[in-house]
Amino acid sequence: MFSKLYKYQVKELWSVARYFYLGMIGAIILSLLITATRIPGIVLFFNALSILSFILCGVTVGIFTIVYDYQNQQGKRSYFFRSIPARESAILSSRMAYYFTYYFVTVLFIVIGLAIFLILDNAVKMGVSFQIIFNIVKGFVLRTKIIGLLFILIIYAAIQHMVSMMFAITIGSEAKFKRLGIGGPVLVYFLHYIVMQIITLISMLFIPIAIRLPENFDSGFKFQIVFESMMSEISRLLSNKSHDIKIFGIGFIFITFITWIIMLIWIYKSSKNKISLN
């Protein structure tokens, strides 16, 4: 049943999302064609326009991902979706996979697209070939190993986005929020966001585990794990004993992971008891 629910949700949104993905590809192709003219003023203008269109298409896919999930859980398709004889675990896992799929694909489009825009822009400004700038960027990425960090951040952000949206829609659609309509999920998300920011800040500052950043990034992105709170670094900064922050607290990762588990259990129980449909 998981695969059927997952395919249903992905296929449902794909009928709309594919046009925005095509728009993103079209923006890149347009930028490539305009850049080939080598006319700085025109290239700069159309590249800016292409980047704006490109990002708007990606953001729109993200918005539709949330809207379609809301419609399946609480909106016009909720009675059909909720009438499907499926285990709650299958519904929950299919929603997670649905969110993760479109988030990951969209972010992949954005990262690759912006990299192409960046390379094109520098190639025009420096008056060199696309291949030369590409090799420089590739060398930097591989040498600093920053691609690994980016991948971890993307996965982390994907889970955070997925759990937050599902939590807001599910809890915000309970009977006590019914009179607020779409305002219920919006209110829950707002409250959740504030609480998470407070928890993240406190855990970053006071939990004694952090990353010590390298003194010189030119030598490569090398860091070490230290069992020290970021608060000590902030204290040194405020007392003028240090002029920059070299310790970045990562205690929030553990707290966030625990919070995700609590939220998913809450989502499961709320959904299993059936939310109030409008």
Checking if the pLDDT of 27 tops 60, the result is: yes
Using a CB cutoff of 8 Å and minimum separation of 24, what contacts does 235-239 make?
none
Element (H, E) at 247: strand 247-249
Q: For residues 245 and 237, is the Cβ–Cβ distance under 8 A?
A: yes
Residues 231-244: what's their mean pLDDT? 69
Look at residue 60 and tell me whether its pLDDT is greater than 90.
Answer: yes
For the record, the structure tokens of 42 come out as 């025109």
- Spatial distance between the Cα atoms of 69 and 13, rounded to a whole number of angstroms: 9
Which residues make beta-bridge pairs with 212?
224, 247
- Could you tell me the two tokens for 191? 């409250």
- Please check whether residue 62 is in contact with residue 106, taking contact to mean a CB–CB distance below 8 angstroms: yes
d(CA 54, CA 136): 24
pLDDT at 224: 74
Amino acid 276: pLDDT: 47
Instruction: Check pLDDT > 90 for residue 19.
Output: yes
Structure-derived torsion over alpha carbons of residues 203, 204, 209, 215, reported in degrees to the nearest 10: 180
What local confidence, expressed as pLDDT, does residue 126 receive?
66
Q: In the prediction, which pLDDT does 130 show?
A: 61
Averaged over 43-65, what is the pLDDT?
86
Q: Give the β-pairing of 210-212 and 224-226.
A: antiparallel
Spatial distance between the Cα atoms of 126 and 119, rounded to a whole number of angstroms: 10
3-state SS, residue 224: strand
| pLDDT recorded at residue 64 | 93
| Res 119: pLDDT | 75
Computed over every residue of the chain, the mean pLDDT equals 79
Token match 């599902």: residue? Answer: 166
Tens-place pLDDT, residues 184-201: 888 999 999 999 999 988
Tell me the pLDDT tens digit for each residue of 91-139: 888 888 999 899 988 988 888 888 877 777 676 666 666 666 666 666 6
Classify the C-alpha dihedral 256-94-63-31 as positive or negative.
positive
The percent of residues in the chain predicted with pLDDT above 90, rounded, is 15
Handedness of CA 106, 110, 111, 112 (dihedral sign): positive
The residues, ordered by sequence, that sit 6+ positions from 56 with a Cβ below 8 Å of its Cβ are: none
**Confidence at residue 218, expressed as pLDDT on a 0 to 100 scale:** 56
Report the distance separating Cα 81 and Cα 266, nearest Å: 20
| CA–CA dist 236, 75 (Å, integer) | 52
Higher pLDDT, 88 or 129: 88
